Amino acid sequence: MAITEIIPGLEGVPIAESAISRVDGQRSLLEYRGLSIETLAEHSTFEETCYMLLYGKLPTRTELSDFAADGTRHRRLKYRIVDLLKCLPEHGHPMEALQAAVAAIGMFYPDRYNPNAAQKRLSCLRLIEKVPVVVASFHRLRNGDDNVVPRRDLNIAGNFLYMLTGNEPDPQATRILDICMILHAEHTMNASTFAGRVVASTLAHPYCVVSSALGALSGPLHGGANEQVLQMLERIGSPENARAALARMVETKEKIMGFGHRVYKTVDPRAKILKKYAEDLCRRSGNKLYDIAAKVEEVASEVLSDRGICPNVDFYSGLVYAELGIPRDCFTSVFAMARVVGWLAHWLEQIENNRIFRPTQRYVGKVGDAYVPIADRR
Ligand code: CMC
């Protein structure tokens, strides 16, 4: 069947059947494997959510403890990966360091192409466990601090906070980060997941799949927006300035970062949950950026919500991360620490019923042009 219409950004075009997650953008609904994001944020843990996304069902107590304990065995980085991180420029973006490290990590595992179930599980565990360790290690090393060896007695969120600061993680901060990771773990066929599935369809190994997806996530229209939200809030400076600043942005057609979504035409359900944590944390610390954010949301909803442009996950996540002591340029990497499991679930689904992606184009260039020798060119 020849389809000749070009759909920019493939908006509304299904590219795969998937049983991993579901979004209803009119009803502010997100489910992973049929479970609502609100329920998971309240009752689940990131480790349990990972198991469920990968295997399609909630684990029993033993399955979960085996999965989590097996995972902790894969936390440590090869010393050569630590050396590689030391060699990267300290002013390079943490997402660039992460993408490079993930691609390099794969080279250490000759089993990376092996499609049996045990090897697939190993690759998933290694990636889920090592990505946060790379993020924390790169941050320490670029600051000239010693690398911290990961601990096996902490969950993924707690170990990340421990490695980042070198201090015992606060249990409440650990739980909030754990919830943030649940909220960011998966989100249907977005740009990075699609990029990962395209690479998976070539039967490239999962480290390649994840490093490609990381590249896609890094852009400011995707996972990079959370960093830019804080810059925007600081630029606005106070709640009183919000109305005039937004009017200017709307007039000059400047995008309001953390607003708008291809699928959600109402508030992103993850933003609602994150808003609550952002408010609690900022009230406690006296961070005034929350008040600016709340005012921006109020004014923006008057101006933009009738066009379906509402806060997305990135609008409040940066405030929460900043309050947890996460450096601003690591926000997108923290998003990636969670999304790695979504990409892996899509990798498993893609290779289960694979056909290589090979779309087509409508050629609009020259045809049959003459080759002009270089001496005759002007
Ligand atoms: N502020 C102001 N106007 C907006 C915004 C915004 N944040 N988002 C969309 N619009 C307008 C846009 O200018 C366009 O107007 P017009 O029809 O007059 O030209 C219309 O809405 C459609 O915008 P679009 O960019 O074609 O919509 P899209 O579905 O292609 O884009 C989006 C979705 C997320 C890229 C876009 O909303 C955006 O750039 N938002 C800001 C960046 C951001 O917050 N990204 C995080 C997305 S959620 C997490 C993630 O995916 O990682």
**How much is the pLDDT for 112?**
83
Pair 154, 270 in one domain: no
Residues 42 and 78 in one domain: yes
**Using an 8 Å Cβ cutoff, are 322 and 287 in contact?**
yes
Question: 239-267: per-residue pLDDT in tens?
Answer: 999 999 999 999 999 999 999 998 999 98
The total number of structural domains that make up the chain: 2
Mean of all residue pLDDT scores within the chain: 95
Distance 304 CA to ligand 1 centre (A): 11
Which pLDDT does position 256 carry in this prediction?
A: 92
Q: pLDDT tens digits, residue range 64-104?
A: 999 999 999 999 999 999 999 999 999 999 999 999 999 99
Does 362 map to a domain?
no
Residue 1 has pLDDT above 80, yes or no: no
Q: Please report the pLDDT score of residue 45 as a whole number.
A: 98
Q: In this structure, are 31 and 127 located in the same domain? A: yes
* pLDDT mean over 182-190: 97
Quick one: 341 and 313 in the same domain?
A: no
Q: For a substitution probing ligand 1, which of 189, 214, 221 has the most ligand atoms within 8 Å of its CB?
A: 221
Q: Check which CATH number belongs to the domain holding 162 and give it.
A: 1.10.580.10
CA of 37 to the centre of ligand 1 (A): 23
In this structure, the answer to whether residues 137 and 180 fall within a common structural domain is: yes
The protein residue with its alpha carbon nearest to ligand 1, atom 28, reads 262
- Does any domain span residue 364? no
User: What pLDDT, on a 0 to 100 scale, did the predictor assign at position 198?
Assistant: 98
- Show which of 302, 323, 344 is a domain's final residue: 323
Query: 48 pLDDT band (50/70/90 cuts)?
Result: very high
Q: Of 11, 261, 266, 314, which is best to mutate to test ligand 1, by the most ligand atoms within 8 angstroms of its C-beta? A: 261
Q: Above 90 in pLDDT, residue 40?
A: yes
- Which residue among 186, 189, 312 has the greatest number of ligand 1 atoms within 8 angstroms of its CB, and so is best to mutate? 312
* 68 and 175 together in one domain: yes
Whether residues 240 and 262 share a domain: the answer is yes
Residue type, 343: W
How distant is the alpha carbon of residue 301 from its chain centre?
Answer: 25
Q: 141 with 281, same domain?
A: no
Residue at 13 is within a domain:
no
User: Do 264 and 187 share a structural domain?
Assistant: no
Domain range for 247 is 225-323
Would residue 74 show up in a list of annotated catalytic residues for this protein? no
Catalytic annotation present for 261? yes
Angle at 224 between CA 220 and CA 230, to 5 degrees: 100
Q: Does some domain include residue 116? A: yes
Q: Would you say the pTM of this structure is higher than 0.75?
A: yes
Do 161 and 186 lie in one domain? The reply is: yes
Residue 369 lies in a domain: no
Ligand 1 contact, 274 CB (< 6 A): no
Q: What proportion of the chain, given as a percentage, has pLDDT over 70?
A: 100
Mean pLDDT over 28-53 rounds to 98
Whether 267 lines ligand 1, by a CB cut-off of 6 Å, is: no
What average pLDDT score do residues 109-138 get?
Answer: 93
Residue 5 lies in a domain: no
Residue 80 has a pLDDT of: 97
Domain-embedded: residue 188: yes
Asked whether 270 lines ligand 1 (CB < 6 A), one says no
Alpha carbon dihedral 242, 330, 217, 280, in 10-degree steps, equals -50
**Could you tell me if 107 and 240 lie in one domain?**
no
Q: pLDDT tens across 280-305, in order?
A: 999 999 999 999 999 999 999 888 88
CATH number for the domain harbouring residue 251: 1.10.230.10
317, 339: one domain:
no
Q: Is the model's pLDDT at 2 over the cut of 80? A: no
How many Å lie between the centroid of ligand 1 and the Cα of residue 259? Answer: 7
| Any domain includes 358 | no
How confident is the model over 192-204, as a mean pLDDT?
Answer: 97
